[in-house]
Amino acid sequence: MMTNTHQKPATSLKRCFMNVVCAILTGGAITGITVTGISATAWGQSAETTYRPVIKQVIEKAILPGYENLVEVAAQQGNDIEKLCLSPNEANLKYARDSFRSLVSAWSRVEMYRIGPAIKGNRQEKLFFWPDRKSIGLRQVRKLINTQDKTALTTETLQKKSVAVQGILALEYVLFGKNSDALSTTTPKSYRCEYGATIAQTIGATAKSIVNDWSSPSGYATQMLNPSSTSPIYRSDAEVMQDLLRISSEMIQSTRDLKIKNTIKDSPAKSKPKRAPFWRSNLTLHAYQNNLKAVEALFTVGGLGKLTPRYTKSLSFELEQTNKFLAKLEKENSPWEEQVKQKEAHELLTFTLIPLEGAQYIVSELIPQELGLSLGFNSLDGD
């Protein structure tokens, strides 16, 4: 049993509702968990067992399939927009918009992997320029559409432009922003439509470059699986594990603090719904659910949960509770900017902060403590 030096403050415990985490934390101490086959040292490894099999599973079952799916979905999105460009009508616009929902799902499932290939060459920002606090990206997208800049109509030239005009949120504006309904009535091969198709192709190209950098013979997967004292990235398997836990913690924190809490504020009247991503397409709640499903998949499909099964069960419970609330709101099918202003919806969104707090505590504190790890620097600190 661990000492109570890391226990959560009583005030926070009182805020918990009936869940597994409360059962673990009550009694004034955090109950340790025996993990079969692992006796953690200060660096989270033992002489008998390394984390390498789990790391390999994470890469092969969670990370790579996620990005490969994004490549495929972006290609389908591009095809559907091209059909719209050739034959503008209501049905084809609906197909293109429906494809965007799948694109948001695919992106939200890999958004958390802000490591290695994703942060090389600003690829993460090229795919998802958010938050755009001063609407810089929006102004740049509008300018391209208004001036009909031809250099935005090929993947090669679009990739050289601002990160804000070549990603998923730029495409959202094309398909759902001001005057987007005209895509169904305009002349074939209109600029806005062709620009949208190019964005989809560029998203696919960026995602493909991430896949390549993960899977090449000397790529990031190889470096993850072969840490050494001379490696500029990872010196041990434990450092890899710390990184995987860190990014999952940051995804939960981002969803809770930046995406939900920063949007709903203290009351419906003070809420800022347009601070949330994907409000134009009304896919905000859909994106959040997939963000959290990605975290859970890292522990289930990816295998991280095998190391601390009881804490993983608690984590799954907290994430599933949150997604039940979010799915309930999504089912109402109300416009996000109106929904956040409604008392009942605002209360439910506020309530999601509780299980999300529990989920982050499990990932950032309990699991690392159990494995003898320290997550260290949090890239969201100071945001």
In this prediction, residue 133 carries a pLDDT of 87
- Do residues 173 and 241 both lie within one domain? no
Q: Which among 142, 133, 226, 217 is positioned nearest to 180, based on CA atoms?
A: 142
Stretch 369-374: mean pLDDT, rounded?
A: 92
Lowest mean pLDDT among 18-22, 91-95, 268-272: 18-22
Distance, CA of 339 to CA of 266 (rounded, Å): 15
With CA atoms as reference, report the closest residue to 253 among 116, 140, 369, 362: 362
Last residue of a domain, one of 166, 185, 219: 219
Last residue of a domain, one of 219, 245, 275: 219
Please indicate, yes or no, if residue 352 is contained in any of the structural domains.
Answer: yes
- Are the CB atoms for 307 and 55 separated by under 8 Å? no
- Structural domain ending residue among the three candidates 190, 219, 248: 219
Whether residues 243 and 318 fall in one domain: yes
- Res. 231: pLDDT tops 80: yes
**Domain match, 71 and 210 both:** yes
**77 and 176 belong to one structural domain:** yes
Sign, Cα dihedral of 373, 374, 378, 381? positive
Q: Is 114 exposed, middle or buried (0-12, 13-18, 19+ CB in 10 A)?
A: middle
What Å distances lie between residue 137 and 81, 142, 155, 163, CA to CA?
21, 9, 18, 8
Q: Are 196 and 98 in contact (CB under 8 A)?
A: no
Residues 312 and 360 placed together within one structural domain of the fold: yes
215-218 own/partner pairs: CB under 8 Å, 24+ apart: 215/64
Q: Give me the residue label for tokens 């719209």.
A: 84
Number of domains in the chain: 2
Percent of the chain predicted with pLDDT > 90: 84
By the 8 A CB rule, do 122 and 159 touch? no
Do 348 and 290 have their domain in common? yes
Same domain, 367 and 282: yes
Positive/negative CA dihedral, 323, 368, 50, 251: positive
- 175 is a domain residue: yes
Number of other CB atoms surrounding residue 113 within 10 Å: 24
Query: What is the DSSP secondary structure assignment for residue 165, as one 8-state letter?
Result: G
Render pLDDT for 32-80 as a digit per residue (tens, 0 to 9).
333 333 334 434 444 334 799 999 999 999 999 999 999 999 999 999 9
Model confidence at 244: pLDDT above 60: yes
Whether residues 209 and 250 fall in one domain: no
**Is residue 96 situated within a structural domain?**
yes
Give domain status of residue 320, yes or no. Answer: yes
Q: Which of 255, 245, 247 is nearest to 369 (CA)?
A: 245
Identity of the amino acid at 29: A
Q: Which residues have CB under 8 Å from 338's CB, separation 6+?
A: none
Is residue 204 one of the residues assigned to a domain?
Answer: yes
Round to whole Å and give the CA distance between 32 and 206: 43
Residue 381 placed within a domain: no
Q: Which residue, 276, 358, 346, is CA-closest to 318?
A: 358
Q: How far is CA 381 from CA 119, 169, 242, 244, 376, in A?
A: 18, 24, 17, 17, 11
Residues 214 and 248 in one domain: no
The tokens describing 276, both together, are 């949330």
pLDDT band at 381 (very low <50, low <70, confident <90, very high): low
Q: Is the peptide bond before 131 cis (omega within 30 degrees of 0)?
A: yes
Mean pLDDT of 351-376: 94
Lowest mean pLDDT among 36-50, 118-132, 135-149: 36-50
**Distance (Å, whole) CA 74 – CA 1:** 49
pLDDT digits (tens, 9 = 90+) for 160-187: 999 999 999 999 999 999 999 999 999 9
Q: How many CB atoms lie within 10 A of CB 301?
A: 16
195 contacts 147 by C-beta, under 8 angstroms: no
Contact residues for 81 (Cβ-Cβ < 8 A; gap 6+): 96, 99, 175, 193, 196, 197, 200
d(CA 263, CA 206): 29
Considering the domain architecture, whether residues 127 and 242 belong to the same structural domain is answered as: no
When the pLDDT of each residue in the chain is averaged and rounded to a whole number, the result is: 89
What residue numbers bound the domain in which 72 lies? 53-219
Instruction: Count Cβ atoms below 10 Å from residue 219 Cβ, excluding itself.
Output: 15
30 in a structural domain: no
Domain holding 138: CATH number?
A: 1.20.1420.20
Note the pLDDT of residue 29: 33
Q: Indicate whether 134 and 59 sit together in one domain.
A: yes
pLDDT for residue 25: 37
CB of 334 closer than 8 Å to CB of 57: no
Q: 251 and 152: one domain?
A: no
Mean pLDDT of 151-158: 98
Q: Is residue 363 part of a domain?
A: yes
Cβ-contact 158, 205 below 8 angstroms: no
The torsion angles phi and psi of 149, rounded to 5 degrees, stand at -65, 110
